[in-house]
Amino acid sequence: QVQLVESGGGLVQAGGSLRLSCRASGRTFSPYSMGWFRQAPGKEREFVAAIWSGVVTYYGDSVKGRFTISRDNAKNTVFLQMNDLKPEDTAVYYCAARNRNPFTSAPTMGVMSSPDEYGYWGQGTQVTVSS
Protein backbone atom coordinates (compact mmCIF):
# COMPACT_ATOMS: atom_id res chain seq x y z
CA GLN A 1 0.00 0.00 0.00
CA VAL A 2 1.11 3.53 -0.75
CA GLN A 3 1.31 5.85 2.24
CA LEU A 4 1.17 9.60 1.78
CA VAL A 5 2.32 12.06 4.42
CA GLU A 6 1.73 15.79 4.08
CA SER A 7 3.82 18.47 5.72
CA GLY A 8 4.35 22.20 5.56
CA GLY A 9 1.05 23.44 6.92
CA GLY A 10 0.77 26.06 9.60
CA LEU A 11 -0.45 29.51 10.49
CA VAL A 12 0.27 32.32 8.08
CA GLN A 13 -0.91 35.88 7.65
CA ALA A 14 -3.01 36.83 4.65
CA GLY A 15 -0.80 37.54 1.67
CA GLY A 16 1.86 35.13 2.84
CA SER A 17 3.08 31.89 1.33
CA LEU A 18 3.40 28.25 2.30
CA ARG A 19 4.86 25.23 0.54
CA LEU A 20 3.22 21.89 1.21
CA SER A 21 5.00 18.62 0.61
CA CYS A 22 3.61 15.13 0.20
CA ARG A 23 6.02 12.24 0.56
CA ALA A 24 5.10 8.75 -0.55
CA SER A 25 6.31 5.49 0.93
CA GLY A 26 5.57 1.83 0.38
CA ARG A 27 6.11 2.14 -3.35
CA THR A 28 6.90 4.80 -5.89
CA PHE A 29 4.07 6.87 -7.35
CA SER A 30 5.86 7.81 -10.56
CA PRO A 31 3.08 6.35 -12.76
CA TYR A 32 0.33 8.01 -10.73
CA SER A 33 -1.48 11.27 -11.22
CA MET A 34 -1.28 13.31 -8.03
CA GLY A 35 -3.67 15.81 -6.57
CA TRP A 36 -4.31 18.18 -3.71
CA PHE A 37 -7.70 18.65 -2.10
CA ARG A 38 -8.84 20.68 0.87
CA GLN A 39 -11.73 20.66 3.28
CA ALA A 40 -12.86 23.43 5.61
CA PRO A 41 -15.26 22.93 8.54
CA GLY A 42 -18.82 22.65 7.33
CA LYS A 43 -17.79 22.44 3.70
CA GLU A 44 -17.35 19.58 1.28
CA ARG A 45 -14.01 18.44 -0.03
CA GLU A 46 -12.73 20.82 -2.68
CA PHE A 47 -10.34 20.20 -5.54
CA VAL A 48 -7.22 22.36 -5.38
CA ALA A 49 -4.69 21.13 -7.93
CA ALA A 50 -3.47 18.07 -9.79
CA ILE A 51 -0.59 17.06 -12.02
CA TRP A 52 -0.32 14.46 -14.75
CA SER A 53 3.17 15.34 -15.94
CA GLY A 54 5.76 18.05 -15.39
CA VAL A 55 3.86 20.21 -17.87
CA VAL A 56 0.18 19.32 -17.61
CA THR A 57 -1.37 20.73 -14.45
CA TYR A 58 -4.90 21.44 -13.26
CA TYR A 59 -6.19 24.01 -10.79
CA GLY A 60 -9.42 24.87 -9.10
CA ASP A 61 -10.83 28.26 -10.00
CA SER A 62 -10.38 29.59 -6.48
CA VAL A 63 -6.61 29.00 -6.46
CA LYS A 64 -5.64 29.47 -10.10
CA GLY A 65 -2.83 31.98 -10.45
CA ARG A 66 -1.84 31.70 -6.80
CA PHE A 67 -1.00 28.02 -6.28
CA THR A 68 1.46 25.85 -8.18
CA ILE A 69 1.68 22.07 -8.11
CA SER A 70 4.87 20.22 -8.96
CA ARG A 71 6.43 16.83 -8.37
CA ASP A 72 9.78 15.15 -8.05
CA ASN A 73 9.30 11.54 -9.07
CA ALA A 74 12.83 10.58 -8.07
CA LYS A 75 12.00 11.63 -4.50
CA ASN A 76 8.41 10.37 -4.58
CA THR A 77 7.26 13.82 -3.58
CA VAL A 78 4.62 16.24 -4.78
CA PHE A 79 4.55 19.90 -3.78
CA LEU A 80 1.98 22.64 -3.54
CA GLN A 81 3.36 26.16 -3.53
CA MET A 82 0.73 28.51 -2.15
CA ASN A 83 1.19 32.24 -2.65
CA ASP A 84 -0.97 35.23 -1.78
CA LEU A 85 -2.88 33.20 0.74
CA LYS A 86 -6.33 34.34 1.78
CA PRO A 87 -8.44 33.54 4.85
CA GLU A 88 -10.71 31.57 2.53
CA ASP A 89 -7.81 29.16 1.94
CA THR A 90 -8.01 27.98 5.55
CA ALA A 91 -8.62 24.24 5.49
CA VAL A 92 -7.08 20.84 5.97
CA TYR A 93 -5.12 20.03 2.84
CA TYR A 94 -4.95 16.46 1.63
CA CYS A 95 -2.56 14.87 -0.81
CA ALA A 96 -3.98 12.16 -3.06
CA ALA A 97 -2.65 9.66 -5.57
CA ARG A 98 -4.62 8.01 -8.34
CA ASN A 99 -4.39 4.23 -8.24
CA ARG A 100 -6.03 3.35 -11.54
CA ASN A 101 -4.20 2.58 -14.76
CA PRO A 102 -1.98 5.49 -15.78
CA PHE A 103 -3.30 7.85 -18.42
CA THR A 104 -1.63 7.67 -21.83
CA SER A 105 -2.67 11.21 -22.67
CA ALA A 106 -3.67 14.28 -20.69
CA PRO A 107 -6.93 13.56 -18.84
CA THR A 108 -9.79 16.01 -18.57
CA MET A 109 -10.32 18.47 -15.75
CA GLY A 110 -13.48 16.62 -14.79
CA VAL A 111 -11.53 13.44 -14.17
CA MET A 112 -8.61 14.98 -12.36
CA SER A 113 -10.80 17.06 -10.04
CA SER A 114 -12.91 14.12 -8.87
CA PRO A 115 -12.01 12.74 -5.43
CA ASP A 116 -13.38 9.36 -6.51
CA GLU A 117 -10.52 8.99 -8.98
CA TYR A 118 -7.93 8.87 -6.21
CA GLY A 119 -7.30 5.75 -4.17
CA TYR A 120 -4.55 6.88 -1.81
CA TRP A 121 -4.91 9.75 0.64
CA GLY A 122 -2.73 11.37 3.25
CA GLN A 123 -3.87 12.36 6.73
CA GLY A 124 -3.91 16.04 5.89
CA THR A 125 -2.10 19.13 7.08
CA GLN A 126 -3.80 22.17 8.56
CA VAL A 127 -3.40 25.52 6.84
CA THR A 128 -4.74 28.54 8.68
CA VAL A 129 -4.64 31.99 7.13
CA SER A 130 -5.32 34.92 9.42
CA SER A 131 -6.69 38.29 8.36
Residues of the chain with pLDDT > 70: what percent?
Answer: 95
Pick the more confident residue, 25 or 19. Answer: 19
Distances (CA, A) of 2 to 9, 12, 97, 101: 21, 30, 9, 15
- Residue range 59-118, pLDDT digits in tens: 999 999 999 999 887 888 999 999 999 999 999 999 999 877 788 888 999 999 999 999
Distance between CA atoms of 70 and 91, rounded to whole angstroms? 20
